[in-house]
């Protein structure tokens, strides 16, 4: 299918119309991008927090990653799973899911292909390759939508089809195989991880969002997106977007350094990012990638040209030149240490930050930030570290780490991003527990109700529509959002 602006625009608008997601005057349009190919652009000024568009997945299904657990293939619950009664090999959690029209269709086509019984590990593999199978069940109109999206060809694409043929021994027709391989390459380049479930029982699947996939990447995105309980993608402005500006997502983690982000994007999305942040050796003064100089002991070592993969690094203080291999060696060792920590290792993590990390890297280095972020989500949540079990010291440490990361997000110019909303809620929870302890001990707390309300309200505004938002946040949403 020929990809041009008119064809893309008509195809996307018709798709949104079929899913009741159109507006009279959308603030976006599809145009050619300076990055190559096409992009989504603002047709008028868009204010921070303003809704830009809603999208719906043309394909939604389990993720293929080895670490992803098996889910009910209809509602994506991970509880009470049983094999399909008709022995297609898929797992379901209830008679309602068993009898759903969507499952009946995929169940039928899988049974037509079967040459052996699919159970145990084979059932797990079938679940992980379900998304391309579902593409065969799309209407002709929706297949046209998929065909208009960009596909990248490489040896890694289509491994799901190889599993179907060589491991599951499914008897697939040639035309079915060709289309599924194409779909795999489209989804590999464009699919989003989608959070399903609620605060207490969350899972993640992958979805192909036609309009969402047309928005290009930047490590300084001007949008933020969440998913509601119906798997709609809700895209809003994280910062003010001027008329005519390109609208950007981020496909990578904000708290990673440039080399890590660019490697991840190259492996998963097949491009090397050259955005404003990637071009800046200091990453807007955040020094997320930097290490400390071994010579002067104080200066920050940063890449001379961060877009050169194996380029030299240099100390800002004394000018010492450092090989990229030396920097990579330190990063690799620290990454291995980071992955070795378990939930119970809080004290070990804190000592590692203070005694080891901060002697090797800057205070905002990606490994330090990853550890702080990990600690934030253990403290107050995990068994043994609930709010009432915490020492005062650990409570104040979490509060400081929340403020550290919020400050970093501001330095990185990320605006009202989802991570900010989550951190604001955690910070407010810290203040609540601090005040409870102060009042219990007979002290007058300096933490004001109004300050906590403001934190909570900003978090609620940022996390609007998010299916995974805490109940406390959802209670602050306007009634029309709760009903949506």
Q: What is the pLDDT of residues 357-383, one digit of tens each?
A: 999 999 999 999 999 999 999 999 988
Domain-wise residue ranges, the chain: 5-56+209-249, 69-207, 253-369, 379-484
Q: What is the longest distance spanned by two Cα atoms in the chain?
A: 76
Predicted TM-score (pTM) of the model is 0.92
Residue 481 has a pLDDT of 66
Give me the percent of the chain exceeding a pLDDT of 70. 97
Give every CB contact of residue 165 below 8 A, 6+ residues apart in sequence. 172, 177
- What average pLDDT score do residues 72-83 get? 92
Per residue in 408-455, pLDDT (tens digit) is 999 999 999 999 999 999 999 999 999 999 888 887 777 888 888 999
Q: What's the pLDDT at 154?
A: 67
Higher pLDDT, 483 or 259: 259
pLDDT at 483 over 60: no
What percent of the chain has pLDDT above 90?
A: 77
- For residue 65, pLDDT over 90 is answered with no
Residue 484 has pLDDT above 60, yes or no: no
Q: Are 337 and 370 in contact (CB under 8 A)?
A: no
Q: Give pLDDT, residue 250.
A: 96
pLDDT digits (tens, 9 = 90+) for 119-176: 999 999 999 999 999 999 999 999 999 999 988 776 667 889 999 999 999 999 999 9
Q: Which CATH number fits domain 5-56+209-249: 1.10.10.10, 2.170.270.10, 3.40.50.2300, 1.10.357.10?
A: 2.170.270.10
Task: Determine the pLDDT at residue 404.
Answer: 98
């Amino acid at each position: 299918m020929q990809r041009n602006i008119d064809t893309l625009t008509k195809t996307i608008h018709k798709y949104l119309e079929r899913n009741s997601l159109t507006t009279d005057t959308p603030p976006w349009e599809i145009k050619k991008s300076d990055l190559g190919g096409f992009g989504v652009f603002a047709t008028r000024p868009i204010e921070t927090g303003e809704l830009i568009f809603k999208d719906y997945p043309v394909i939604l299904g389990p993720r293929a990653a080895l670490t992803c657990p098996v889910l009910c293939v209809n509602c994506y619950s991970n509880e009470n799973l049983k094999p399909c009664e008709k022995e297609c090999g898929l797992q379901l959690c209830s008679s309602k899911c068993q009898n759903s029209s969507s499952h009946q269709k995929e169940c039928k086509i899988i049974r037509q292909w079967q040459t052996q019984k699919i159970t145990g590990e084979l059932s797990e593999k079938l679940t992980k390759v379900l998304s391309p199978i579902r593409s065969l069940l799309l209407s002709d109109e929706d297949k046209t939508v998929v065909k208009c999206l960009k596909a990248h060809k490489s040896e890694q694409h289509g491994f799901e089809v190889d599993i179907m043929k060589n491991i599951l021994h499914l008897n697939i027709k040639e035309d079915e195989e060709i289309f599924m391989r194409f779909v795999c390459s489209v989804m590999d380049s464009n699919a989003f991880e989608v959070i399903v479930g609620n605060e207490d029982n969350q899972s993640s699947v992958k979805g192909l969002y036609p309009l969402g996939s047309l928005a290009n990447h930047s490590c300084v995105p001007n949008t933020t997106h969440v998913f509601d309980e119906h798997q709609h993608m809700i895209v809003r402005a994280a910062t003010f977007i001027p008329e005519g500006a390109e609208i950007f997502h981020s496909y990578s983690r904000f708290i990673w350094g440039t080399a890590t982000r660019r490697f991840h994007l190259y492996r998963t999305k097949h491009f090397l990012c050259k955005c404003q942040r990637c071009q800046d050796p200091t990453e807007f003064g955040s020094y997320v990638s930097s290490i400390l100089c071994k010579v002067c002991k104080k200066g920050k070592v940063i890449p001379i040209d961060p877009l050169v993969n194996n380029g030299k690094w240099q100390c800002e203080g004394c000018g010492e030149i450092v090989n990229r291999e030396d920097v990579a060696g330190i990063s690799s060792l620290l990454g291995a240490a980071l992955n070795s920590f378990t939930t119970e290792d809080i004290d070990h993590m804190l000592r590692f930050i203070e005694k080891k990390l901060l002697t090797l890297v800057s205070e905002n280095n990606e490994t330090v930030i990853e550890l702080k972020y990990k600690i934030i989500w253990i403290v107050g949540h995990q068994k043994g570290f609930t709010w009432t079990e915490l020492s005062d010291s650990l409570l104040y440490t979490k509060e400081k780490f929340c403020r550290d990361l919020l400050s970093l997000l501001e330095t990185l110019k990320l605006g009202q991003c989802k991570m900010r909303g989550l951190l604001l809620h955690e910070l407010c929870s810290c203040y609540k527990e601090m005040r409870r302890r102060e009042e219990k001990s007979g002290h007058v707390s300096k933490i004001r109700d109004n300050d906590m309300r403001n934190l909570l309200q900003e978090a609620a505004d940022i996390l609007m529509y998010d299916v995974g938002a805490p109940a406390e946040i959802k209670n602050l949403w306007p009634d029309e959002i709760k009903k949506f």
